[in-house]
Chain A
């Protein structure tokens, strides 16, 4: 049974984007509320940006889950590289039209003129930095018609900053930046995540020293933290099966955290 105790904890930190696993932290909660408020404003575009692993996709997913009951919302997790495919997908998902022939930008514009919504339909584009420049230009033009509102997420890199400047500088009226977690936030994040999955004993095993150690390794990056803890619970599971005397059940060992960091490559040893 003890083996499942650590295994269940390990599953909590699998790197999947699930709105149900969304953890509200003070700073993230404030940011999310700002995003929801921005959606209500008559903005053409909203930019959500930050370093990889800061929770952009999770927040976008959470927003989708929260809004889909109240308004027309479409979310594209993976980028649609082809322009026609993108337009066809929009026609299908927003207007419910499945064009068999080709659909160019002009035809899509004419199509959008025939539909009216109480609230402007919202399109959520994750990983927008992967869209081509030409397609981003079309997205900009569509947003200019005010028939569709876009929320896009971008990784904050130098290159992506240029994209943001070139294509959205004059159009995005709201931009929100996500940051890595601080050490106290990380502790809350880990414990909340574990408690959501009924791993109360393991959640209580984390103290400030553990979270500080984890924060030093992952710099508060949520994705890296998930990866590290997944690896850590794998090691714990191994000790549980093979050398249970080496495990202290009252608290998490920094040694095992560091071993997990070595295993995952965060520490080069």
Chain B
């Protein structure tokens, strides 16, 4: 005997069951679509963030490699929160990447790019880092003091110059001098020739120190240290009179106390 009512109920149950997967599938698809539509704009906004980070990282790099004190001061303040890359030793490479990757900050970049020239102008400030232990023993306190006073008081700022100092120490001084001579031949920067003169003088190579001091004076007649090294080298080479006359001539154009002291010592014969 047919029980149609029971059969109809079972059929209804079967139909509901058969539509459940379809319903769930459709609902899932709709929810997925809605979620995609909601989060798609956000994800698009989020994507450009990455380049920003890269820029920030590069900024720190530029800060460290620029020798100019004033720029260092500004740049370090901007990049305190960012992990400073540890490989700051390769200055030239870093400079290149900095120049390439910082398109958004046009004004700063021009400032940062120019420092490659400033670097040469202000090479005097970086010289102590290249000087061997004799010089380091004399000068580093001053240099460190300078950086400490001029840069921001935050500890991270101080870390960067320390690292560069450490890496520089590991370099061979002969190689450094050769490199500086090569660079001087290329750009005739008086700061470099003065550095070379000082190095040769310190090494007891007075003829060479005389030559480079002379070259420095020819390029720039107003560098006090260059005239002093020049005079000292002449004294060491036995040219006391010439050294004395040179300083006298120089003192006509300047009031350098160091030159006066040296002249007095040479004339008194206390400097030999």
- B4 cross-chain contacts in A, Cβ below 8 A: 235, 238-239, 242, 259
Sort chain A's interface into a size bin.
10 to 19
CB-defined interface of A57-71 with B at 8 Å, one 1/0 digit per residue? 000000000000000
CB-defined interface of B1-32 with A at 8 Å, one 1/0 digit per residue? 01010011011011101000000000000000
Majority SS of interface residues in chain A? helix
- A242 cross-chain contacts in B, Cβ below 8 A: 4
Residues of chain A in range 248-269 having any CB-CB distance to chain B below 8 Å: 255, 258-259, 262-263, 267, 269
- A255 cross-chain contacts in B, Cβ below 8 A: 11
Q: Is the CB of B13 within 8 A of A269?
A: yes
Distance of A5 from chain B, by nearest CB (Å) = 17
Q: Is the CB of A262 within 8 A of B2?
A: no
Expressed in whole angstroms, the Cα–Cα distance for A267 and B15 within the complex equals: 11
- A175 cross-chain contacts in B, Cβ below 8 A: none
Expressed in whole angstroms, the Cα–Cα distance for A258 and B15 within the complex equals: 9
Expressed in whole angstroms, the Cα–Cα distance for A215 and B13 within the complex equals: 22
Q: Is the CB of B2 within 8 A of A235?
A: yes
| CB-CB nearest in chain B for A237 | B2
Q: Is the CB of A234 within 8 A of B7?
A: no
Sort chain B's interface into a size bin.
10 to 19
Expressed in whole angstroms, the Cα–Cα distance for A263 and B13 within the complex equals: 14
| CB-CB nearest in chain B for A258 | B11
CB-defined interface of A237-249 with B at 8 Å, one 1/0 digit per residue? 0110010000000
| CB-CB nearest in chain B for A267 | B14
Q: Is the CB of B14 within 8 A of A235?
A: no
Expressed in whole angstroms, the Cα–Cα distance for A255 and B12 within the complex equals: 9
Partner of B11, one of A234, A238, A239, A269: A269
- B13 cross-chain contacts in A, Cβ below 8 A: 269
Expressed in whole angstroms, the Cα–Cα distance for A236 and B220 within the complex equals: 117
Q: A234-B2, A235-B2 are in contact. Are A263 and B7 (CB under 8 A)?
A: yes
Q: Is the CB of A259 within 8 A of B8?
A: yes
Distance of A260 from chain B, by nearest CB (Å) = 9
Distance of A232 from chain B, by nearest CB (Å) = 11
Expressed in whole angstroms, the Cα–Cα distance for A263 and B8 within the complex equals: 10
Distance of A10 from chain B, by nearest CB (Å) = 12
| CB-CB nearest in chain A for B16 | A269
Most B Cβ at <10 Å: residue of A238, A239, A259, A269: A269
Residues of chain A in range 36-53 having any CB-CB distance to chain B below 8 Å: none
Expressed in whole angstroms, the Cα–Cα distance for A255 and B14 within the complex equals: 11
Distance of A245 from chain B, by nearest CB (Å) = 14
Expressed in whole angstroms, the Cα–Cα distance for A127 and B263 within the complex equals: 133
Q: Is the CB of B2 within 8 A of A238?
A: yes
Q: Is the CB of B14 within 8 A of A258?
A: yes
Q: Is the CB of B17 within 8 A of A269?
A: yes
Expressed in whole angstroms, the Cα–Cα distance for A223 and B2 within the complex equals: 22
Residues of chain B in range 138-179 having any CB-CB distance to chain A below 8 Å: none
| CB-CB nearest in chain A for B7 | A259
| CB-CB nearest in chain B for A234 | B2
- B17 cross-chain contacts in A, Cβ below 8 A: 269
| CB-CB nearest in chain A for B13 | A269
| CB-CB nearest in chain A for B3 | A263
Expressed in whole angstroms, the Cα–Cα distance for A143 and B152 within the complex equals: 110
- Chain B residues with a Cβ under 8 A of chain A: 2, 4, 7-8, 10-11, 13-15, 17
5 A-B residue pairs with CB within 8 Å: A235-B4, A258-B11, A259-B10, A262-B11, A269-B13
- Chain A residues with a Cβ under 8 A of chain B: 234-235, 238-239, 242, 255, 258-259, 262-263, 267, 269
A235-B4, A239-B4, A263-B7 provided; 9 other pairs, C-beta below 8 A?
A: A235-B2, A242-B4, A255-B11, A258-B11, A258-B15, A259-B10, A259-B11, A262-B14, A267-B14
Pick the 7 closest A-B CB pairs, nearest first.
Answer: A269-B14, A269-B10, A259-B11, A259-B7, A238-B2, A262-B10, A238-B4
